[in-house]
Amino acid sequence: MTGGITNSSAFNRRAMLGGAAAAVSVGLLPFSVAGCAPGSGNRIRAYWWGDNALNKAVRTVLSGYADSHGLAVSTESAPFDGYWDKLATQTGGGNPPDLIMMSASYLPEYASKKTLLALDDHVGKGTDTASLDTAALDEGLTEFGSVDGKLYAVVAATNALGLVTDHDALAGLGLKDPTDAMDWDALGSLATKINKLSSGKVYGLQDSGGDLVAFTVWLRQQGTELFDDDGKLAASRQQFAGWLAWWQRMREQGGVMPAKLTAQGSGEISTSGLVTKKAAMGIAWTQDFVSLSGLVDDDLRITLLPSAGEEEGNWINAASLWSASADTKHSDDVVGLINHLVTSEESARTLKTVLGGPPTEQARKIVAPTLDGPDKAAIEFMQAITEHSRPLNRLWPPAFTVLRTEFTRINESIGFGKTSVQKGVSDFFAAAAKNDAA
């Protein structure tokens, strides 16, 4: 039986703010790779989000598996934002992909709608094509794929938020890079100094005031979680106001890009402040740091976020996960693909860090000696995060995706002067109440 792989992709790099993917669209690129190994001959559809490098690497891994197992795998990829609209359309229309890239923030929603296959019966099953070796994952990662006690996804890679700095830009102004010991006020002072020394040509920071994940880090540094164990908001209105007001003050002082500039580059990493040289620093996920480094000639560096208290606020996050559709007719084949993507040596050597940090110790040992430059820096940063992080008290509740979008909208409205900080906080809590999170 002949296996092979076909592809249809709209290529995009992921955006910095909030870890969302950006729209740098390229035309559809169909191709096929034939295989000749005996196997089921089943046709599997795979769907994920990612940039050019990620798409190429994932297709290579899937192609190798399809070739050796006699499968036919068709692949699709899309921008992060457009990805979810298309996935919702496909699942709602009864035509979901078999293999689905999932986000921890969307997982509860899709699991609650019974659109994903529960994978528990496949864990440690022992057959080549239908077993999940979740024991190989780093401690604590399995929980990211669990909802209400059932496993619906397997972590594909890990990441964490960090502060990305254009070392060359700061050095050109006679300034030193931020350090791990810096607090948020010191970061604000550095940001406004960058703007002043550059005669207003460069802003200190990209605007992350609407990033609910960055806000969560800031909260946890002060000993507060964003959500309590029941999925309700645990942070106070005063804490929300304090965060939003800090970013607005930075915008007014030139430390942060103005709302108009931020909006012009919103959603596209290629037009973000660090790439266009409008900002010298920004908050980014580790894999976005690698993508940014590939788009500029300057020396970009990543370090820990500033501190706001005595506690560690960051955590090792699931950058992405792999799930199977509840409607798939080939669950054993899909489970085999997931296990291959996550635990095989071939996958580790091919994917390296394009998805984020490898989720197993074995994969990191394979990958580490082959890395240099930004990839090596990203792995070293993730190692530092293990010593400066603590697990979240709970995974994101179903309301998170709606509230994340609302938080971004509110910060933008404050930046444009369309609403006040206090009104924005009231609007956010109203949205939380409407979505059973307050």
Q: Can you give the pLDDT at residue 233?
A: 98
Which class is 161-314+397-436 in CATH? alpha beta
pLDDT tens digit string along 101-128? 999 999 999 999 999 999 999 998 655 5
Judge if 43-158+318-386 and 161-314+397-436 fold alike in CATH terms.
yes
Please give the distance of CA 216 from its chain centroid, rounded to a whole number.
15
Q: Can you give the pLDDT at residue 40?
A: 59
The CATH number for 43-158+318-386, chosen from 3.40.309.10, 3.80.30.20, 3.30.460.10, 3.40.190.10, is 3.40.190.10
Average pLDDT over residues 378-406: 91
pLDDT tens digit string along 267-279? 678 889 999 999 9
Specify whether the CB–CB gap between 66 and 333 falls below 8 A. Answer: no
Q: How confident is the model at residue 79 (pLDDT cuts 50, 70, 90)?
A: confident
Q: What value does the mean pLDDT of the chain take?
A: 89
Average pLDDT over residues 361-372: 92
Of 215, 321, 328, 205, residue with least CA distance to 256: 205
Average pLDDT over residues 407-432: 98
Residue 95 pLDDT more than 50?
Answer: yes
Q: Report the distance separating Cα 177 and Cα 168, nearest Å.
A: 9
Q: Report the distance separating Cα 198 and Cα 172, nearest Å.
A: 9
Q: Can you give the pLDDT at residue 4?
A: 59
Q: Can you give the pLDDT at residue 295?
A: 93
Sequence spans of domains, the chain = 43-158+318-386, 161-314+397-436
Specify whether the CB–CB gap between 112 and 122 falls below 8 A. Answer: no
pLDDT tens digit string along 188-243? 999 999 999 999 999 999 999 999 999 999 999 999 999 999 999 999 999 999 99
Q: Report the distance separating Cα 208 and Cα 408, nearest Å.
A: 9
What's the angle, vertex CA 157, arms to CA 231 and CA 393, rounded to 5? 25
Write the CB contacts of 258 (distance below 8 Å, at least 6 apart in sequence).
203, 251, 415
Write the CB contacts of 83 (distance below 8 Å, at least 6 apart in sequence).
21, 47, 48, 49, 101
pTM of the model: 0.84
Q: Can you give the pLDDT at residue 128?
A: 54
Q: What is the token pair recorded at 39?
A: 């196997």
Residue 426 pLDDT more than 50?
Answer: yes
Q: How confident is the model at residue 7 (pLDDT cuts 50, 70, 90)?
A: low
